[in-house]
Amino acid sequence: MQPPHRVRLIRRVAMPVLIPALVLASLSLCAAPADARTRPDPVVKALARAAHPLSTTEPVDGMADLEPLGREIGGSVIVGVGEATHGSHQFFTLQDRIFRYLVANKRFTSFAREAGWNAGLRINAWLLTGRGDIRQIMREVFQSADRLWNNQEYLELFEWMRAYNLRHAEKVQFTGDDIYPVEPEIYTRVLAYAADDCPALYPAIAYLYRGHPTGSVLDATHEFRNLPQDQRLDFAGRAEQAYELLKTCHPSPDRTRFEWRVQDAHVIAQNTRYLSYDSETQLPQQDLYRDAQMAANLTWWHEHTGGKTMLAAQDDHVALVTDDPDYPRTEGSFLREQFGRGYLSIRTSFGGGSFVAFVNTSEFPPPVQVFPVGPPDPDSNEYTLDKVSCGDYFMDLRSVRPPASQWLTVARPTFDIGSVGPAYTSDAALGPSSDVLFYLHHVDAAHLLPA
């Protein structure tokens, strides 16, 4: 998820595609369109040979169409599933469907989201215990740039996960691996732990956290981001000192509790350091730091829960490489470095439709609205992908044959839509960026829940 201050070059906005993608009733092979006057485009023909029809993006019973994906995943322990927009129904439900497949067929147990650390902990507590109201929890934790996650699609995912946990001994869990937004509850939890378990350190940690954010996620994020940079830099330095100090605590017999509170303090340090950058002049450094720390948090989660994890995030984050000179390294590149082939990157793309996002304005909080997008420009990746004639589909990019394999190595404009509208593109070479590609001809705006 891109915080609202990050806006890229708008290439083109067009009218929405009004014809929905065909839902296949069988697993027929894909094809390249042709008529009596023209020969099929050889690139499209090669893409069609590699494509597997996708019967639906909805998380419904019957997942035989995803069996080729299971073979492509193999023994991966982390699977990153991207989204080409941060606000389209089909991308959220596709993530839900893939996760259910991974749980049933690959022994995955965690769904990770590009969302705040504390948001993940609160939702996970509900998944494991059922205590509280999940709608209220989502409303409270998804307030800032991740307001878009407070949607009907994820509500249904969480309700399925809770129902699954009631029926199975091995539980499924949820985590947020992001270092944005500001989450005041984490400070309260760290300070309470220090007072109870490390009383000798409490005065120093409380002093280092002096003036820490309080109140709602939305207000705390807005207030902290708007502090002068020297104050943000000072707080980041103090938060890092508090993290290092807490690590020196001699924990009680409950070492697990100690490790989780140290991780909380680490997230505070990550968040304040991330927000200490000047987004106008230090955006590449800020993005590099964020993706590195998100990968570190996901690695920490994997090591401390022991389960296989599916990561849901924007295409940019799950990608293995980037063609954007202002976006030096992706979270996916760090995960590939950490896990090798144990990390698999899945990119999504689409031909047109709509998405919900924030309006690019100085108004606080920014309003959200539905934006149209598409059809794709002739020089884009989507223009060619849209010609594969089999409804929605997916393919292993590593197995695509010439001449499409060469076509995949060239960077072209590609829909890359974060939390702010209207639609925009960035250049991407699909082949190097990901292992697997899902292509949807049409998407619709996600269904946000009341704020």
Query: Which domains, from first to last, does the chain contain?
Result: 42-178+307-440 (3.40.1660.10)
* pTM over the 0.85 mark: yes
Copy the structure tokens of residue 272: 């304040």
435/417 Cα distance (integer angstroms): 20
Asked if the bond preceding 375 is cis, omega within 30° of 0, the reply is yes
28-36 long-range contacts (CB < 8 A, ≥24 apart) are: 28/53, 28/390, 29/53, 29/390, 30/388, 30/389, 30/390, 30/393, 31/388, 31/389, 31/390, 32/387, 32/388, 32/389, 33/387, 33/389
pLDDT 10s per residue in the chain (451 long)?
455 444 443 333 333 333 333 333 334 468 766 554 567 799 999 999 999 999 999 998 799 999 999 999 999 999 999 999 999 999 999 999 999 999 999 999 999 999 999 999 999 999 999 999 999 999 999 999 899 999 999 999 999 999 999 999 999 999 999 999 999 999 999 999 999 999 999 999 999 999 999 999 999 999 999 999 999 999 999 999 999 999 999 877 789 999 999 999 999 999 999 999 999 999 999 999 999 999 999 999 999 999 999 999 999 999 999 998 889 999 999 999 999 999 999 999 999 999 999 999 988 999 999 999 989 999 999 999 999 988 999 999 999 999 999 999 999 999 999 999 999 899 999 999 999 999 999 999 999 999 9
Strands 343-350 and 78-81: parallel
265/243 Cα distance (integer angstroms): 5
42/48 Cα distance (integer angstroms): 10
- On whether the CB atoms of residues 16 and 370 are closer than 8 A, the answer is no
Q: What is 190-207 written as a DSSP string? A: HHHHHHHH-TTTHHHHHH
Residue 353: which of 423, 428, 268 has the closest Cα? Answer: 423
23/202 Cα distance (integer angstroms): 59
